[in-house]
Structure 1
Amino acid sequence: MDIKTDDLPKAITKNTRFLSTAQALSTVPTQINSLIGSLVVLRLTGSPALAGLVISVTFVGRIVVPYFSGWAMDRKGRRVVLILGGVIISVSYLGLALTEISSQVATLFIFFLLYGVGNAIFSQVRIAMTDMYDASRAGKAIAYLYTSSIFGSLATIPLVALIGLLSQPAGLDPYALLWLSGSLSMLPALLAILLVRPDTSVIARVIGRSGRNETGLSVRVELSRLTAPFAASSVSWGIMVAMMSLLSLDMAGDGFPLFLISTTITIHVAGMYLPSFPFGRITDRYGPKMLMVAGPLVTGVGGLLTPLTANYYVITIGMFLVGVGWCGSTISSTSSIVSVIDASARGRVLGANDVTNNIASMILPFAGGAVIGAYGFLGLGVFALALSLPASLVSFAMSPRKLPTSGKVQHRLGGVPGQDD
């Protein structure tokens, strides 16, 4: 399917709304996993190290899949691949609900792995969103997407409270009900993706930023242009996932109820997404360097602050800062990559970026569990800060101050996106 240039504004507006809706709905299962994933494993095994391992298992699928799903997006279009990811998430959460009831630990890990595969694919919705905006507005495009996640995060608070109220008198397992609600939330998300028309790869091609140029030549992107965004995003992702996944253990150990833990996670998620528009504007106007330097550092400072005391407000402020640092790193690094990678190869390159992000997100929660076992939760905070400093230094030394303005730089990878609609 093709589209006339005159119809672009309407199609972009419509697709932006559908993609943002899908992103908001997909935040519900993500937050549920962060809230109860480690608690479920701790309850079944009694091991904090295995509680951290469950997050690492989730990220195994997210390491293997993103480059290949990005490749499929470049060849077949964005929508069909995103639908596959959403279906896998829904099926995996249904499996987790059934496994929770039967208390089968091995099966539980299998469905965590399957969820990681689906989440890895569906998180590439950012590729579809950046298709519709040029490099000078990439920050704004990601801001639209991430701001919508706030609504999914806010919806999780009353959902947890309601399930807690209804499950006890009915004699039902609240964790199983939460897994089931995560599965159901993906159904309208899938509908929103189905309504994205035309495929955003078609829009990218029409506005002249996709496919090979007329001569068939391409410009080789220097690895140095990708080092800083890969470093900043990977370290921030690793710290954020480690803190978010192990937070429940820390707060539960301090006697906080599940509702307050969920509220802290929601405030953390607000830190991840609320600054999206101002950070997007800063990146689009001044370039990515400022936020790629500050983002990892703020994430590390928040990681150090979180376990300093058992005070609820200090813990919550620390987790909010972890989210804010992640937001700055992610928007600036994505914008930096988009500025030098054409849409025809963007799925593969951003997929490779997802791979490095997910490697860090797999290793650091498991390493964090070991650090907690040896030095306590304060050791985890020191560990987070120590990791953030090198990433900020690399970003300061190697990231460009300003973005290219044309958005026409071609990546050496070949291939024209599919025209499937």
Structure 2
Amino acid sequence: MRTLEQQSRKITLTLLAGQSLFSAAMIIAFTIASIIAVELGGSAGWTGVPSTLVVAGAALMAYPIGKFMDSVGRRKGLSVGYILGIAGSLVAGQAVILQSLPLFLAGVFLLGMTKGVLDQGRYAAAEASPEHKRAQAISWVVLGGTAGSILGPSLIQSTSQMAVRMNLPELSGPWFAAALIFGVILVFINLLLRPDPKELARQLAQDKTPTEHEHVSPATNRPYRQILADPRAKIATVALVCGQLAMVVVMTMTPVHMHQHNHGLGAISLVIMGHTLGMFGLSFVTGWLVDRFGRNALIAAGSIILVLACLTAPLNASVVWLAVCLFLLGLGWNFCFVAGSALLSDGLHVEERGRVQGLTDTMINVISGVGSIGGGLIFAATGYLVISWLSILVSVTPLAVVLLLQNRPQPVAIEPVR
């Protein structure tokens, strides 16, 4: 019989593979989504609509799917996401064939809901891991975004050509390929994600002993206000939300800033590649650092790195300078994201993790949308310098909260035997 550690490792690797394919499918689809929206809508004004619908769909789905996972487990919950991904991809691909903008946008919205479900894969990995390896498990799943960013773009041209050979519109091919990928992951996850991460979480919770800094609280279905009384939940939520807001605002404005300084698409792509590397490329190191030095320490470090990135980004418009600054922006986000996700899992009972993590992801998605729109308005009115330095106030907030709350006592749940 496999030990808990072996089962945990298997589940983490399964989720890593699933996340890599999910990321590839989403990148395949959304590399061309804006192009299709403009073609079908007949106006450049439709450019940002697909990304907005993705954020809206993810925000709408994250909380209810979290509650659903609390009831039925992670495997069935994630399966819902893959089914939505199949449906959304097929609808969008058919919309391209029919040249129907409303149908296309409906498919995109379904894929946003897919993202709201599958972003919780990192929490499934955390749930199946002992506390001292929880951040490493999360970081491996986050690393899947890097694999997907390499695999996805490489499939766009070949799937487009395949569609042409089948006498279908060129841009329909990637959507049907995405549907196929979601179908493969659905089968893969249902075969290999066993036992369910929630079952392992219950076994791990039974073995947990409170530390000298923790006091025991009953494992009940607590209201959110009571959950936030735990400083771990407060610090984690602030780290996740503020890290996301600072990253989104500066990242989305940087390409426009570079365009205003006469940089071409090649230069802009290099800077965004540097940013993506910072966000995902070093995740496996981040997880080890979080488990080695502690959640609060890495959240504080991430906050400081975000401040440094926001402070320095507007000081020079050269490609190398901005690439380094955007790398730091991504790295600071990564520290806050991995450490915050691990800390949030630490502070929750097994039976309430899904709904609280889902609500937190809803906040993250909402703040992404608000940050993109609000940041654009501020940027248009004041410029890159002001929007970057305003982001310093957001970036420093996780550090301030860590310093304020880190020494307060932490309640810990002793889970019932099931």
TM-score category of the 2 structures, normalised to the smaller one: 0.7 to 0.9
* Cα distance change, pair 154–167 in 1 and its aligned pair in 2 (3 A): same
Alignment partner of 1:122 is 2:118: yes
Query: What's the CA shift for 1:377?
Result: 5.0
Alignment partner of 1:329 is 2:332: no
Alignment partner of 1:410 is 2:413: yes
Correspondence for 2:127: 131
8 Å CA contact 2:278–2:327 kept in 1: the answer is: yes
* Cα distance change, pair 226–101 in 1 and its aligned pair in 2 (3 A): same
Correspondence for 2:154: 158
Q: How does 1:2-401 map to 2 (within 5 A)?
A: 6-32=2-28, 35-37=31-33, 41=37, 44=41, 51-52=47-48, 54-100=50-96, 104-160=100-156, 176-195=172-191, 196-209=193-206, 217-218=218-219, 221=227, 222-242=229-249, 254=262, 256-257=264-265, 264-299=271-306, 301-302=308-309, 311-377=318-384, 380-399=387-406
Query: Match for 1:388: what amino acid?
Result: S
Q: How many matched pairs?
A: 402
* Cα distance change, pair 312–200 in 1 and its aligned pair in 2 (3 A): same
* Cα distance change, pair 177–168 in 1 and its aligned pair in 2 (3 A): closer
Query: What's the CA shift for 1:326?
Result: 1.4
Greater CA drift, 270-279 or 92-101: 92-101
Residues in 2 aligned to 1:169 and 1:373: alpha-carbon distance in whole angstroms:
45
Query: What's the CA shift for 1:284?
Result: 1.5
Residues in 1 aligned to 2:194 and 2:137: alpha-carbon distance in whole angstroms:
17
Query: What's the CA shift for 1:163?
Result: 6.7
The gaps in structure 1 that reach 5 residues or longer are none
TM-score, structure 1 as length reference: 0.79
8 Å CA contact 1:304–1:380 kept in 2: the answer is: no
Q: Secondary structure at the match of 2:237?
A: helix
Deviations 1:110-144 (A, max 9, x none): 33322221111111112221122122221111122
* Cα distance change, pair 248–101 in 1 and its aligned pair in 2 (3 A): farther
* Cα distance change, pair 51–348 in 1 and its aligned pair in 2 (3 A): same
Residues in 1 aligned to 2:31 and 2:382: alpha-carbon distance in whole angstroms:
23
Deviations 1:57-116 (A, max 9, x none): 322222232222111111111101101101212322333344456665444443332222
8 Å CA contact 1:58–1:362 kept in 2: the answer is: no
8 Å CA contact 2:59–2:361 kept in 1: the answer is: yes
RMSD between aligned residues? 3.9
* Cα distance change, pair 77–303 in 1 and its aligned pair in 2 (3 A): same
Deviations 1:335-369 (A, max 9, x none): 21122212222112211221221121121112223
Query: Match for 2:76: what amino acid?
Result: V
Deviations 1:228-276 (A, max 9, x none): 211111122234345555666666775644x776665444332222222
TM-score, structure 2 as length reference: 0.80
8 Å CA contact 2:278–2:329 kept in 1: the answer is: yes
8 Å CA contact 1:297–1:385 kept in 2: the answer is: no
Q: Secondary structure at the match of 1:409?
A: strand
Residues in 1 aligned to 2:387 and 2:36: alpha-carbon distance in whole angstroms:
21
Residues in 2 aligned to 1:38 and 1:367: alpha-carbon distance in whole angstroms:
20
Q: Secondary structure at the match of 1:12?
A: helix
* Cα distance change, pair 184–245 in 1 and its aligned pair in 2 (3 A): farther
The gaps in structure 2 that reach 5 residues or longer are 209-215, 221-225
Deviations 1:171-200 (A, max 9, x none): 987654444443333233223211211212
Query: What's the CA shift for 1:209?
Result: 4.4
8 Å CA contact 2:127–2:201 kept in 1: the answer is: yes
Residues in 2 aligned to 1:252 and 1:53: alpha-carbon distance in whole angstroms:
21
Residues in 1 aligned to 2:86 and 2:156: alpha-carbon distance in whole angstroms:
18
* Cα distance change, pair 311–216 in 1 and its aligned pair in 2 (3 A): closer
Taking every aligned residue pair, what percent have the same amino acid on both sides?
A: 23
